[in-house]
Amino acid sequence: MNLRSATIAELRAHLDQRKLSAVELTDYYFERIDRHEPTINAYVTQLRETARSAAVKADKIIAAGQATALTGIPIAEKDLFCIEGTKTTSGSKMLADFEAPYTATVSEKLANAGAVTLGKTNMDEFAMGSSNESSYFGPVKNPWDTSRVPGGSSGGSAAAVAAGLCVASTGTDTGGSIRQPAALCGLTGLKPTYGRVSRWGMIAFASSLDQAGPMTRSAKDAAIMLEHMAGFDPRDSTCLTEAVPRYSQHLDQPIKGLRIGVCEAFFETALDATVATQIREALSILESLGATLIDVSLPHMTASLGAYYVIAPAECSANLARFDGIRYGYRCEDPQNLQDLYTRSRGEGFGQEVKKRILVGTFALSAGYYDAFYGRAQKVRRLIKQDFVEAFSQVDVIAGPTTPTPAFGLGEKAKNSVDMYLQDVFTIAASLAGVPAMSIPAGLVSGLPIGLQLIGNYLDEATLLNVAHQFQQTTDWHTLTAPEAP
């Protein structure tokens, strides 16, 4: 087995057969981190000591024959999951020194399953961005081409897996932040149904949209991760109570007869022609596996970007109000008075993109404008949701592109917000509707990975993972690894 590209499922067998110990595996990854991290910058914090003791503990559990699917598996966590006693920055100067006093449900569940957390990954500040360039801790480089972005906001989580600096990672997706970086780094990334995974202990961006999910090297690994991350949590009132299926047990079902919806509108917008050809090719592979392609229309899809960029900033302006230098966050030096303390702490603590969104969001929520902007955006959101309800009365899954283009150059879109926002033109609708969606590797364009997006009905992650796994049984795009960074 090649450790560099090994999946969770493959490592499990090796660990259980004692061909490798969890401690050796952890050391292997930290050696790679030493070598490649100076170029990639995927981690904000490395957790060498706690990782080592978790690995020692994992080896004992394995020796006792009590391993779960994740015991001893080295993972990384996006730096907005609170882990007690660990720096949790959300990519911001505002929280650069924040040490979490408690642990997020997702992180607790993964740790309880025996996963070994190697570190916390770099991300766009407060998860706002599509390139990881808004991080206070500097941009992350795409391992496939280090002059390009890994996508965002879970860019560090994506680059860490793609560069072989961990096996799998956690990300969060508010409008595309798991799927878009997964597509740009050649990974499998899944945003579950809103409420499937607890948000407790996740630093909030836009609460009605935020959802955590796995970023992995295969659909099978995503299934394994999700079954450990998902489930009801009484500490999150938006968390769903439905039982978590054993996703990894439903992967082998043939997809013959499955109805896959194709929305032609996805191909009529800013989609790069070569990406379009690859996506059509991927669709015909699904057809050759026995699925039927059916035209569906999502008539309000074109309004999704506009609605999102009212709703997400509005919610972020409320969520980020707590970072005032008193209750939470960075405090400026030598404040002259209370007003000065507030304005300078927030002015100095937040970066450009975050400030822009707080301003837009506060405006959209202000008296006299609320109905015109926020109220209207919510109505559009309802129409988008109805589009999906209608589409899923005819099909089981909707398939199309994840992003308009492969990874773009560092700095290329930094000056033009709208260009950057357009990265999520295909992913945002599923976020607004709250339906699950994933991205799987579907080809290379000029040597760079691109993603096929699969969108599912509410709580039907099992079908998405099944389709993704079947696709990966006949294609090898997901097995390709990025060239070794210098």
Of 460, 451, 470, 407, nearest to 140 (Cα)?
407
Active-site residue identified among 92, 107, 153, 169: 153
Q: How far is the CB of 373 from ligand GLN (least distance, A)?
A: 17
- Give the shortest CB-66-to-ligand GLN separation in angstroms: 36
CA end-to-end span of the chain: 23
Q: Is 446 a catalytic residue?
A: no
Query: What tokens does 299 get?
Result: 């008539």
- The amino acid at 20: L
Binding mask 277-316 for ligand GLN (x = CB under 6 A): -----------------------------------x----
11 lies in the binding site for ligand GLN (CB under 6 A):
no
Q: Does position 440 bind ligand GLN by CB under 6 A?
A: no
String of contacts with ligand GLN for each residue 179-218, x by CB under 6 A? --------------------------x-------------
**Residue nearest to ligand GLN as judged by C-beta position:** 177
**Contacting residues for 432 by C-beta, under 8 A, at least 6 apart:** 209, 304, 307, 308, 311, 381, 384, 385
DSSP state for residue 142 in the 8-state scheme = B
Q: Number of C-alpha atoms within 13 angstroms, CB side, residue 263?
A: 27
Report, in Å, the least distance between residue 125 CB and ligand GLN: 10
Which residue out of 21, 78, 109, 304 is catalytically annotated? Answer: 78
Enclosing H/E stretch for 355:
helix 352-365
Known active-site residue 177: yes
**Under rule CB under 6 A, how many of the chain's residues touch ligand GLN?**
13
Q: Structure tokens of 467? A: 């389709």
Of 26 and 177, nearer to ligand GLN (C-beta) is 177
Question: In angstroms, rounded to a whole number, what is the distance separating the alpha carbons of residues 474 and 220?
Answer: 14
Within 127-146, which residues bind ligand GLN (CB under 6 A)? Answer: 127-130
**Does residue 153 have an active-site annotation?**
yes
Residue span binding ligand GLN (CB under 6 A) among the ranges 174-182, 196-204, 395-403, 457-465 = 174-182
Q: How far is the CB of 127 from ligand GLN (least distance, A)?
A: 4
Q: Which of 415, 423, 358, 448 is nearest to 146 (CA)?
A: 448
Q: How far is the CB of 153 from ligand GLN (least distance, A)?
A: 4
* 424 part of the interface to ligand GLN, by CB under 6 A: yes
Strands 74-78 and 116-121, bridge-based pairing = parallel
Q: Which residues, 6 or more positions from 303, have their beta carbon under 8 angstroms from its beta carbon?
A: 380, 383, 384
Q: Which residues, 147 to 166, sit near ligand GLN by CB under 6 A?
A: 153
Q: Are strands 211-216 and 168-173 parallel, antiparallel or unpaired?
A: antiparallel
Q: How many of the other CB atoms lie within 10 Å of CB of 109?
A: 20
Judged by CB under 6 A, the residue of 86, 132, 174, 466 near ligand GLN is 174
Give CA–CA dist 179/188, Å, rounded: 8
Instruction: Note whether 177 binds ligand GLN by CB under 6 A.
Output: yes
The residues annotated as belonging to the active site are: 78, 153, 177
Residues that bind ligand GLN (CB under 6 A): 127-130, 153, 173-177, 205, 312, 424
